Amino acid sequence: MADVSPSKSLIKGVIKLTLFLGVGFAVLFILNRVLSAPTEDGYRFFPVIGSRVWVWIIAQLHLNFAAFVLGVPIFAVSMEFMSWRRNDERLDRIAYDFTKLFTLAYTLTAAVGTILLISLPVLYPKFIDHLMKILGPTWWVYVLVMYVETLVCYYYFYSWRQMKGSKKGTHVAIGGLLNIMGITMLLITSSWVGYMTTPNPHGVSETGELINRWQAIKSYMWIPLSLHRLFANVVFGAGIAAAYAAYRFITAETDEQRAYYDWMGYTSAMISIGFSLILPGIGYLLGVEIYSFNEQMGIQLMGGFFAWLWVMQAILIGAILMFVNYYLWISLNKMPGGERYFKYVKYLFIVNLLGYAVWLTPHSIALSLEEARRMGAYHPVLGSLGVMASKNTAVVVSYMATFLSFTIFKISNKEPIVSWAKLGHTIRAAVIVLSTAAAIAIGIYSYMVTSAVRVKVLSPIQFGIFFLSIIILFVLDTMMYKGAIVIGEPRWGKMPERSQYALIGITVTFTWLMAMMGYMRSGGRQFWHVYGIVKDTSPDAYLPTHGYAAVVSSIVTVIFFALIGLLFWSIMKLEKVADKGGAQT
Amino acid sequence: MMKIYPIIAAIGLLITVVSVLKKSPFFNFLGLLTLIYGLLKSVGLVTAPFPAQVMTMYMAMSVFSLFIYFSIQESTFEALLEPVRAVLADDNKLILRVLIVFIALPLFAGYLTFDKVKPNYEPPVSARIVHPEPVSSIEFRGKPITIIGLENPLRKDAANMAGNLEAGKKIYYQNCFYCHGDDLDGRGHLALGFNPVPPPFRGTDTIAQLPESFVFWRIAKGWRGLPAGSTPWNSAMPSFEDFLTEDEIWKVTLFIYEATGNKPRS
């Protein structure tokens, strides 16, 4: 695997990518000749499951892999940078392992991408013609960037061992270039989706004629969507890496392997959750842009037909937070001195449970006739819990509890030696109590103000308080535990297997959530290919039920994890082959 | 029937306390679930009961979260599973095993089957969408009106505000109060004849969440104007464009916000 020379790897990358593109275009050419002409309004029909479901599955699979191969390099390079500056071999190993993962995933990403490349023009020729008319040049830039990215990726991976030591800085810079390419690709693809959902009237006319290409690219949701995807990719990529580590932990044969994969799983999971803290804020920005584009679409997504998906999102994110907290609490068992902190776990659990309950309380409820009669328009209790004021408060308090779980894990094997340690503990308690009280007070006050004040002023203040608090707590702990007595090093690898299933649970839940949210974003267009410009006149021009969408999302998630399992298996097999051959992978 | 739930909660509490004293995580787990179930169902004694769908969600969350909690420490987790393992494997638990496997589980499966297939004359449960998405534009008595971004023109007329509010009040009591109530609380004389009952205008979760253009659209078009995406949506709201002028609808809109102390979403 890694014994290919960097120059040969470049040739390998070019051949592979050209092969995929070549096969894609050839099949496209043949299918266009062989298949019957599209219908008058520009559709062909995929057998049995229909064109929409086929493209839905392939597009979501491609997006999952793309998210993985764009997200993982960000923290792989960050790890390598830290390993280079700190001269830490363990960080270098984890960075290399991450790189191994995404380099191998490139092939699967390209394969699924090729299927999508064939499917879209064959099944939706008229719509793709329109996209090419408006955004065609961006496609060619995309292909160019894809080549550069693949070459950089292969070179980055295969030059790892050759560029150790004095050339490490250059290697890190190559990793930086890889990420720049990745972000450029993300911006290009987001411009396509952004155009389809929130087309800029300065870029294209109502009849679908191009006015200004740059304006067409610069749609309402382009930048917020790109940012949301960028951070979500890191969360997702780190989650997959955590699942990989968990899988390797469970199948490990030696204590050394268990210790390493335990540490890898912990590091990946914390990166994933750390970055996920930013997502609600960017998602909020995305929502604002959608409302700015079209209030009708905004209401439909937030409070109308799709309102139920937010409840499902709450159920899933609440489950993720529970898994994360569980993993951290169980990790106290491996920390010498961790038993001192078990007394706090039950309180953190109660806070998380209450937060979870409020967060998942629906505002739109499925009711029987009898229940509707007894309840009236709104349930007196649920009606007050299922709204933004209480949910934002619950989210902030749950995140705060999760951060505290992380904090107690970090400090559980240390004893501060600074003279002001007692004062430090008091300050920490005060920050926690005051910030939580402030978040709850603002939440209660949110019921009494106009929605504009709640949305534009109070909600940002609540999240601001949370971020300010965790920054204060982080700085305080860094100062307080500087030079602290270490009771004992973490016993990496001394974790029960069930803790690893929590890591896998986080990733599976996140993947399923991505599929459901992707459906929602796409469903916001309703019966339009390009909202308000190109109408969907196919037989699929209706919104499926949430249950149907959930089934399709589940199928995508199962296929994705089957392929990811294949990837993990391939890595392990290649490692075994390399071990037998004496080469280091 | 409702009065049984506090008793269930009390039994749950008792099991919880005893299991804590006896150090039995398994019964602690069951006790807490029983307590939570009893408490949630007891809500029905003081206000409308929680709908079945919400109960299912809360209970599923409780089972998941409590299982997480009881499996943090190895000793607790082992003790949690111990009674289950004992019933499944211990020789001296043979009778209990037979009772559970051959009596209790078939009875439970039979009950579930019966519950599923028994004749039911209730209409199916339907999901409600609280705020249907508004249309972009409407035709009001033949005149096209763009709804998105539309503002109440009377708000700019500060000089006649009192008069417009008074007129809106009169329109409200002539047309709306029969269903939406004397106190704008959704409890009009006819309210209970509808399902769902008419929404209240008081509180923070109806008109306070909406721009006035939305309220104008709902009054003007009623149930007939609801978008396809909102179905199934039960509404008996008449199309008031048949009875009121554009100006009158804006006046009554002004009044319902003013009378409830709400401000339109901007």
Q: What is the pLDDT of residue B176?
A: 95
Q: At what angle do helices A546-581 and A307-331 cross, to 10 degrees?
A: 40
Contacts of A305 in chain B (CB under 8 A): 129, 133, 229-230
**Residue B146 β-bridge partners:** B137
Rounded Cα distance between A296 and A287, Å, is 12
The DSSP symbol for A493 reads: T
* Probe site for chain B from A334, A375, A409 (most B CB atoms < 10 A): A375
Contact A322 B129 (CB under 8 A): no
Is it the case that residue A585 has pLDDT exceeding 50? no
The shortest C-alpha distance from A542 to chain B (Å) reads 9
Task: Work out the pLDDT band at A166, boundaries 50, 70, 90.
Answer: confident
Out of B49, B54, B73, the one facing A365 most closely (by C-beta) is B54
List CB contacts of A479: < 8 A, sequence separation 6 or more.
A418, A424
Residue with tokens 């393992």: B85
List CB contacts of A249: < 8 A, sequence separation 6 or more.
A257, A258, A261, A262, A265, A493, A495, A497, A500
A130 close to A530: Cβ distance less than 8 angstroms? yes
* CB contact residues (below 8 A), chain A span 529-558, against chain B: 543
Rounded Cα distance between A301 and B71, Å, is 38
Contact B50 A379 (CB under 8 A): yes
**A538: three-class secondary structure by DSSP:** coil
Other beta carbons less than 10 A from residue A548's beta carbon:
12
A319 touching B (Cβ < 8 Å) = yes
Higher pLDDT, A270 or A575: A270
A519 close to A553: Cβ distance less than 8 angstroms? yes
A536 close to A528: Cβ distance less than 8 angstroms? yes
Give the mean model confidence (pLDDT) for residues A128-156. Answer: 92
Q: What is the pLDDT of residue A546?
A: 87
* Probe site for chain A from B205, B216, B260 (most A CB atoms < 10 A): B205
Q: What is the pLDDT of residue A584?
A: 44
A363 touching B (Cβ < 8 Å) = yes
Residues in chain B with pLDDT values less than 70? 127-131, 133, 227-234, 266
The DSSP symbol for A340 reads: G
Q: At what angle do helices A89-123 and A546-581 cross, to 10 degrees?
A: 130
Share of chain A above pLDDT 90, in %: 55
Contact B199 A377 (CB under 8 A): yes
Task: Work out the pLDDT band at A583, boundaries 50, 70, 90.
Answer: very low
The count of CB pairs under 8 A between chains A and B is 172
Per residue in B138-178, pLDDT (tens digit) is: 889 899 998 877 889 999 999 999 999 999 999 999 999 99
Per residue in A265-316, pLDDT (tens digit) is: 999 999 888 888 888 888 888 888 888 888 778 877 877 778 888 888 899 9
* CB contact residues (below 8 A), chain A span 369-388, against chain B: 369-384, 387
* CB contact residues (below 8 A), chain A span 483-522, against chain B: 496, 498
Q: Show me where the domains of chain A are located.
A: 6-335+490-581
Is it the case that residue A582 has pLDDT exceeding 60? no
A29 touching B (Cβ < 8 Å) = no
Give the mean model confidence (pLDDT) for residues A182-193. Answer: 94
Rounded Cα distance between A395 and A283, Å, is 14
Across A40-44, A176-180, A444-448, least confident range:
A444-448
Rounded Cα distance between A490 and A263, Å, is 10
CA-based torsion, A20, A26, A29, A32: positive or negative: negative
3-state helix, strand, coil in chain B (%, to 5): 65, 5, 35
Rounded Cα distance between B70 and A322, Å, is 13
The shortest C-alpha distance from B197 to chain A (Å) reads 6
Report the amino acid identity of residue A92.
D
Is it the case that residue A126 has pLDDT exceeding 80? yes
Cα–Cα separations (whole angstroms), residue A265 to A82, A242, A318, A502, B206? 18, 4, 20, 11, 46
Q: Show me where the domains of chain B are located.
A: 4-117, 137-260
A447 touching B (Cβ < 8 Å) = yes
Rounded Cα distance between A461 and A454, Å, is 10
Q: What is the pLDDT of residue B231?
A: 58
Q: What is the pLDDT of residue A362?
A: 86
Contact B64 A526 (CB under 8 A): no
Q: What is the pLDDT of residue B128?
A: 67
Residue whose C-alpha is closest to residue A44's, from A104, A106, A127, A115: A127
Residue whose C-alpha is closest to residue A183's, from A220, A152, A215: A152
ipTM: 0.85
- Fold classification of B137-260 (topology level): Cytochrome Bc1 Complex; Chain D, domain 2 (1.10.760)
**B41: three-class secondary structure by DSSP:** helix
Residue whose C-alpha is closest to residue A399's, from A471, A318, A345, A459: A318
Contact B52 A371 (CB under 8 A): yes
> Chain-wide mean pLDDT for chain A?
89
Per residue in A241-273, pLDDT (tens digit) is: 899 999 999 999 899 999 999 999 999 999 888
The shortest C-alpha distance from A235 to chain B (Å) reads 23
Nearest chain A residue to B262, by CA = A450
Is it the case that residue A449 has pLDDT exceeding 50? yes
Rounded Cα distance between A383 and B188, Å, is 20
Nearest chain B residue to A527, by CA = B229
B6 close to B42: Cβ distance less than 8 angstroms? yes
Q: What is the pLDDT of residue B66?
A: 96
Residue whose C-alpha is closest to residue A73's, from A225, A247, A236, A222: A236
Give the mean model confidence (pLDDT) for residues A463-487. Answer: 92
Is it the case that residue A75 has pLDDT exceeding 50? yes
Report the amino acid identity of residue B70.
F
Residue whose C-alpha is closest to residue B84's, from B75, B93, B95, B73: B93
Contact A315 B204 (CB under 8 A): no
Q: At what angle do helices A255-276 and A497-523 cross, to 10 degrees?
A: 30
